[in-house]
Amino acid sequence: MATYNAPFRDKNSERYMYAGRIERMIETVEQKLVINSLVLDDYYFCDGQETVENKDNGSWEAFPEGRRWGSPEYYCRFKHSFTVPEEFKGGNVFYEVMPTYGSGRDGWRTSDTQFIIFANGKLIQGCDSNHKEVLLLDNAQGGETFDMHLNAYLDKHEYRGQRVFKARIKQIDPVLWKLIFDLKTPLEIAEQYGPDDMDRVDIIKVLNAAVNLLVIDSTHEELVESAKACMDYLDANLYGKMTLDVTTSGIGHTHIDVAWLWRLRQTREKAGRSFATVLKLMEEYPEYKFMSSQAQLYEYVKEDYPEVYEGIKKMVKEGRWEIEGAMWVEPDTNVPSGESLVRQFLVGKRFFKKEFDVDCKIMWEPDVFGYSAALPQIIRKSGCDYFMTTKISWNEYNRVPFDTFMWKGIDGTEVLSHFSPSRSGDDVGTRFMTTYNAYLSPSDMIGGWHRYSQKDLNNNVLMTFGWGDGGGGPTREMLEYGRRLNKGLPGCPKFVNEPSLDFYKRLEEEVGSSDRLPTWVGELYLEFHRATLTSQAANKKNNRKSEILLHDLETIASIANIELGDEYPRDEFTADWKCILLHQFHDILPGSSINEVYEDSDIAYGNLLKEGKARLDRTLQLIAENVATDADSLVVFNTLGKARNDVVITDMPEKENFIIVDSEGNEMKWQKTYDGKLCFLAENIPAKGYKVFSVKDGEKADNSVIDATASGFETKYLKAEFNADYNITSLIHKETGRDVVPAGEVMNRLIAYDDRPHNHEAWDVKAYYKEISWNIDDVQSAEIIENGAVRAVYKVVRKFRNTIFNVYFIVYADNDRVDVAYDFDWKETHILIKVDNPVDVNAAKATFDIQFGNIERNAHDNTLWEFAQFEVCGHKWIDLSENGFGFSLLNDSKYGHDIKDGRVRTSLIRASMEPCHDQDKGPQYILTALYPHAGLVCESAVVDQAFSLNVPLHCVKTSAHAGKLESVYSLVSCDKSNVIIETVKIAEDSDEVVIRAYETWNKRTNCTLSVKGDIKEAHITNLLEENEEEITAVDGKFNLTFHPFEIKTIKIKL
C-alpha cells in the first residue's frame, strides 16, 4: 500500500510539476479502463442507402478484413452478428465503431463519417466522431446475441479517402471511469489559474494527496479498491467546497445547420442520428436535459424516424427535452421580408403547439449574421418574451458592451436578451468570440464567466453545450463533467442542467426591473460576413419573387373566397410557406452553402414559382370571368394596399387599331414594346382590388413620344444628360431644379472590385475590397430601342472581361423615376460589381428600407463603429436626403449597400469560389431604379415607388359577358399614405379575413381602414392571429391609431 502522508511542497519549481504528475496518474488509470475487448468480424456490405426500418434487402456480400470502402457523397450499409462472450458477464458491453484509413489512422471526421446503428432491428443511436460507441448492456449475462445493421454516410466536402471498417465490443470498469472524471474535473479548474492563485494551490494539494492513495501497479481489484478510497477522499475534501457564488445554467444542444456543406437530404439524417443519440444518453443519464429548436428538423424526424420522434415526445412530457426557438428554422433575419419573419413564428409555433403542446417563448438565433431592428416587435407580438444569440461576439472591430440587456426595436418594443458568453478558458484575453457549441467542461465554464461583461448585474449565465452539425450533441464525457460541476468546486461556477426557459424566467425576475439593466437600441449589426447580403444573387431573387408571389396569391385567393366562395387553399399555402421558410435558413439564403444546395433550391423555387403562378392565373381568371364587361376587356389587378397608376405589360390585342378606356370613358396611353408586347398606363387601380379597362376599336389619341436622344432624355419630371460612355453626367429634378449629380461626377456607373477576402469567401467582403477597382465604361453599342407615349427604352451594351452587360434605361412619361435593368451572363471570379451614384446631397445620415419600416445609419466614418458598417442591409430602397431634396436607389432583389461620403451604392453581384465554386455563374437579370425627389425621404413617394417596382400589376384578358362583380373593386384600403397594408389572407383556423398593416415613417397616425362587406365582428390580434382587443366598424370603416412603426393585425368576420 502506498503512503500518502509525504509533505506537500509548493516551491516555485514544483508548482506546475504536481499538475503534470496528477495528469500522468490519470493517463495511467485511463490505460487500465478497458477490462475486456473483442474485435468483431464476419461483416457484410451493401452499397446504397436503405430505409429507416433497415429491411434486410439489397445485394449483400462478404466484407473481408482490410477491404476499403467509400467515395464522396456515399451511402452504404454494413451488417454482422455476434454473441457476447462469457467473460463479459456481470459488466457492461459497449459497441464501438472504428473506421480507419487503412494505415491505422483514425477515419472519423465531424461531417464526413457518420453512422446510424440498429441493434436487433431497433434504431439505438447515431455514431459520429464524438460518439464512437454505444452502450448495449449494463449488466451482461453472457451469451446475448446481437444482429447489427449500420447505415453509413461519407460526405463530399470533407471526404479524405476510402476507409477500412472495423468494430469491437468492449467492457469498461465503471469505478475507474468515475475516478477519471473525479480527478480530471478539478484538475482542469486548477489549470485555468496561475501558480499563486489559492484555488489552484488548494485543488492541487487535495488532488496530489488523493492520487497518492492509488495502487497502480497491482491487481485490478486492488486498483479499484484504492480508486474508491481516492474518490471518498475527494468527496470529503474537495467536492462541495465552492468559492464562487456563480451559476452556469446549461442545456444540452446540437446546432444543426439545415443545409451548409451538405444537402437538405443529409440534414434529415443528421437530425435523426443526433436526436437518437440524445435519447440514448438520456437513458444512461437521468439528469440530462436537452433543447433543440427548428420545427423543420422535428418534421423531418417525424417523417423519417417515427420511433425517435415518439421518444422525443416522451422526453418532452417528462420535462427532459425542451422545445424552444419558436420558428420554423433558424432563419437569416437580414434578407427575409417582414411577412416571412412573421410566418417563421406563425408556422413554427403552430407546429410546436400541435405536436408537443408547447408554447415557445424564446427567439433562438445563435448563429445568424446580424439582427434586424424590426425583430423586437415581431418577437413580442408572436408571443415570445426573450431573445438568445452568441453571433454578435464574432464582430471584427467592436465588442458589444453588453451580454444581458433589453433590446429596443424601431417601434420602441423591448425584449429581454442574453448573449451566451461560453468560450474556452484558454481564449480569455485573446479575443471576445463566444460559442453556441460549448464543451461542457471547467474550461468553458470558467472562460464563459470571465468573458461575461456584467458581473455586477447578474451571477448566472447560459451555456448551450454539445457538438453540432451531425456531431451528435453532448457526449458522455460532457455529462460526466456536468455531474461533478453540479456538486460545486473551488474556482468554478456551479453547473445546473436546466431548460433555457427556466434560466430566462429567473433572469427576468432578477434583473428585469434593475436600473443597471442596459438597453441596446436598433439593429444588432454583425461586423462580419457582410457578403452574405449579396452572395448567391439568383437565390436571393428567387426568395423575393416567392415572397411576392405568396403575397399576391393570398390577396387574390382571399378576394375569390369572399366574393365567389372559392375554396381558400390553406394546405397549399402552408406547404408553400414551409418551402420559403426552409430556404431562408441562415446558410441557404445568405449564400454560404455548397453548389448542390443551390441546385436543390433552384428546383424547389422553380416548382413553387411555376405552380404558384398557375394557381394565381387560375384565380385571376376566375375573378375576371365573374366581372361584368361590355366589350373585350383587360381586368387589371393591384395586390398592393394603395391605389396606383402604373404600367402594364401584356400581350397585344388582336385588333390593329384600338383604344383602351376605363369604365368612366377615360382613354389610357399605350404603345407597343420593342419585343412586341402591349404597354399601357393603367390609372387609378384600387388598393387590394381590380379595375376593368375596355379594348375598343378606334385610333389612339396620344401618339406622342418622349424626348429621348443619344445625348440624354427629358420628361415633364426629369432631364438627363449622358456622356460618351452612357454614364449620367446630369440628372435634373424639374420640380426642385436640383441636379442630382455633383459637378465632375457621373451617375449609375458600374464599378468592378477585386473581391478576395483572406478567408470565408462566400461570407465576407473585407474593407480592403476597394484597393483595386475598374470602371466598366467600355460601351460596345448603344441605341434607343423603344419610344412612345408611355416610355422610352435605351439599350447600352457594356463589356467587362468575359461578361457582356445589356443595360436598359427605362424612362417614363408619367413617372419621376428611371428604371435601370441589367441583363447579363455572369462569367467572372473574385469580382464584386457595384452601381455607384454620387449625389449632390448634404446629409450625415442615410435611410434604408427594412422589414415593416426603415432605419437610419450614419453616412460617414467618424468612429470605428461607423467604419465597420461599410456594407449594410437594405431591402427595396435606400436613400440619402437633405431638407428639401433627396435621392433614392431602388431594386428588385438586392440587399447589400453602402452610403458613405455622398455616394449611394448597391452591390449587384459577386463571385466567390468557396464553398460554392461557381457562384452565380450564368444568366442574371437585375432591376434597379433612380428616384430623385423633393423633400425629406419621409415626404417622398419612395415606399410606393419601391413596391410598384417589385410588385407588378396583373392583367387578365376577357371578353364581354355578364357577371356578379362590379368593374371597380377594392377589398381594403387606408386613407393615410404612411400606413401600409401588407397582407390580406384568410385566417389559419377560421373563415375570417386577416389584414396586416404597419406604419412606415415613425409617425403616430390616426387613420381609417375601409373594408368591403358586412362586418359582423372584428378584433385586433397578435401576429399568431390570437384575439387581443375587439374593435367596432361603422359602415365598413375602422378608425385606428398606429404608433410609430407599429404592426397591427386585424381579424374580421364577414
- Which residues make Cβ contacts (< 8 Å) with residue 640, sequence separation at least 6? 687, 688, 947, 948, 951, 981
CB of 844 closer than 8 Å to CB of 858 = yes
At residue 299, the pLDDT reads 99
Q: Who contacts 364 (Cβ-Cβ below 8 Å, separation ≥6)?
A: 293, 324, 325, 326, 327, 330, 388, 500
Distance CA 866, CA 857 (A): 8
Which positions of the chain have pLDDT values less than 50? 1-4, 6, 13, 52-54
DSSP characters for 213-273? T---SS-HHHHHHHHHHHHHHHHHHTTT------EEEEEE-----SSSSS-HHHHHHHHHH
Residues 6+ apart with CB under 8 A from 258: 264, 267, 294, 296, 297, 329, 330, 582, 585, 587, 588
CATH 2.60.40.2220 in the chain, residue ranges: 971-1053
Residue of 56, 81, 79 whose CA lies nearest to 144? 81
User: Has domain 34-172 been given CATH number 2.60.120.260?
Assistant: yes
In three-state secondary structure terms, 521 is: strand
Per-residue b/e over 549-561, b at no fewer than 16 CB within 10 Å? bbbbbbbbbbbbb
Q: What is the pLDDT of residues 575-610, one digit of tens each?
A: 999 999 999 999 999 999 999 999 999 999 999 999
Please tell me the class of the 971-1053 domain. mainly beta
Half-sphere exposure of 696 (CA within 13 A, CB side): 17
Interval 190-221: pLDDT, tens:
999 998 899 999 999 999 999 999 999 999 99
Does the reported pTM lie above 0.75?
A: yes
Indicate the fold that domain 247-326+361-516 takes in CATH.
7-stranded beta/alpha barrel (3.20.110)
- Ranges for all domains in the chain classified under CATH 3.20.110.10: 247-326+361-516
> In a 3-state reduction of DSSP, which class is residue 305?
coil
Residues 209, 214, 217, 218, CA torsion sign: positive
The Cα 432–Cα 421 span in angstroms is 9
Q: Answer yes or no: CATH 2.70.98.30 is held by domain 709-950.
A: yes
Q: Is 2 helix (H, G, I), strand (E, B) or coil?
A: coil
C-alpha to C-alpha distance for 742 and 737, rounded to whole angstroms: 14
Size (the chain), residues: 1054
Q: Are 78 and 49 in contact (CB under 8 A)?
A: no
Q: Which region holds residue 730: left if phi is over 0, alpha if psi is between -120 and 50, else beta?
A: beta
CATH 2.70.98.30 intervals, the chain: 709-950
Distance, CA of 348 to CA of 329 (rounded, Å): 8
Per-residue confidence (pLDDT) for residue 53, from 0 to 100 = 45
Ranges of CATH 2.60.120.260 domains, the chain: 34-172
